Amino acid sequence: MLKSLFGLTVALGTALALTAGAAEAVTLKMATDSGAKGSPTGDAMEEWAELISESTGGDVEVEIFYQNELGGQQEVFDLFVAGDVDLMINWPMTSYDKRISVVYTPYMVFTWEEALDAYKPGGWVHSMMDGIYADIGLKFFGAWPEGFNGVATKGRYATTVKDADGLKVRVPPTFPFAETLQAMGYQTATIDWGEVFTSIQTGVVDGDAANVIYWDYEYFRDTLDYYTQTKQNFITGILSMNLQSWESLSADQQKAVEAGAVKIMEKHFAAAREIDRSYVEKAKEAGMTYVEPSDADMKALAKTVRETVWPQMEKEVGAEIMDVIRKNASKL
């Protein structure tokens, strides 16, 4: 009897030890503010979720929410910071910390090579963002680059400040998009992504002025005539996680989530340039006119915007960050 009780005690103790050592199964919520199912963003989220599930043997499952399923851009970011969303691929919002706007510094880089060097893990922009994200309770994994943006319009286009007079374009509710486009000569209207199509259709604005060509081709090719590649920003999404959600995971689960993010980033860094080029061709085939400003016009725009917007940015992000940008930014 004593032997049986001893055996039972050992068995129970072993079972309890195994249970205590096992990671608790969890379900994480992953969202994006821009990207439907089947879009590049949607595909990346699905792949990230699958990598996490496979690496954890199903102990971590991911529930995906596409654009507008949880609200607009700001609403979803609010949920993210609050911990009601755990993982995101999104386009950074500056409502909690204006320093996040460093990724939207206009005319910071001019070529893909310069951009990828800045944003890759270990790059100078990547290093700045890591600390900034931690300060607002988020775990920064890295960039999900799309490419250089431009201005998509109907009726006419502009390659100079003078030509832009009278054109009103949509910008997102994030500093310093409005300030940048105003310095380029445009009138601006701050409009959430989910309302852009209606705003263009009804004539509230003459176009969209924040995105790489994919978005303007995919959503507005029947209403917009021109895409002018003014390259005011190198646009990149961000892969990140709520810090409390991150800290609630076991070490192995954290490793799986981060490894999945790195794999998604590396894959997209390798493919992003060709993806962007492919949508330029698709836009042309769909009837959009693709306009590339001359070198002289580009340098004039960059000089004007830097002189106007960079001092405004320094007031928001601080002299230390702007000194890093001035030191590393492309030369005119």
Which residue, 86, 97, 28, is CA-closest to 56? 28
- The beta strand positions in 164-286, using DSSP E, are 168-171, 187-190, 207-208, 226-228, 234-242
pLDDT digits (tens, 9 = 90+) for 49-107: 999 999 999 999 999 999 999 998 889 999 999 999 999 999 888 888 989 989 999 99
Residue 217 and residue 162 in one domain: yes
CATH code at 60? 3.40.190.170
**Rounded CA separation 214/283 (Å):** 8
Give the helix/strand (H/E) hosting 244. helix 243-247
Query: Which backbone phi and psi does 237 adopt, to 5 degrees?
Result: -80, 170
* 8 A C-beta contact, residue 167 and residue 304: no
- 47 with 176, same domain: the answer is no
Whether residue 248 lies inside any domain: the answer is yes
Residues 48 and 138 in one domain: yes
Mean pLDDT of 250-271: 93
Model confidence over 219-232: pLDDT tens digits?
Answer: 999 999 999 999 99
Same domain? For 144 and 266 the reply is yes
Assess if residue 314 is contained within a domain. Answer: no
The predicted-structure confidence for 125-173, as pLDDT tens digits, reads as follows 988 998 899 999 999 998 998 899 999 999 999 999 999 999 999 999 8
- Decide if 88 contacts 65 (C-beta within 8 A): no
SS3 per residue for 121-177: CCCHHHHHHHHHHHHCCEEEEEEEEEEECCEEECCCCCCCCCCCCCCEEEECCCCCH
| Pair (32, 129) in one structural domain | yes
- The one-letter amino acid code at 261 reads A
Same domain, residue pair 255 and 135:
yes
Q: What is the CATH number of the domain that holds 223?
A: 3.40.190.10
**Same-domain check for residues 158 and 46:** no
Question: How buried is residue 24: exposed, middle or buried, by Cβ count under 10 Å (0-12/13-18/19+)?
Answer: exposed
Q: Does the residue 9 lie in any domain?
A: no
Report CA Rg, the chain. 23
Q: How far apart are CA 137 and CA 55, in angstroms?
A: 25
Provide the domain count of the chain: 2
The answer on pLDDT for 9 being more than 60 is: no
- Provide the domain limits for residue 186: 154-233+283-303
**Same-domain status, 296 and 191:** yes
Cα distance between residue 228 and residue 150, in whole Å? 5
Q: How far is CA 62 from the centre of its chain?
A: 20
| Residue 185 domain flag | yes
pTM: 0.79
Residues 68 and 130 in one domain: yes
23 band by pLDDT with thresholds 50, 70 and 90: low
84 with 115, same domain: the answer is yes
Considering the domain architecture, whether residues 216 and 258 belong to the same structural domain is answered as no
Average pLDDT for 251-264: 96
> Do residue 123 and residue 166 come from a single domain?
no
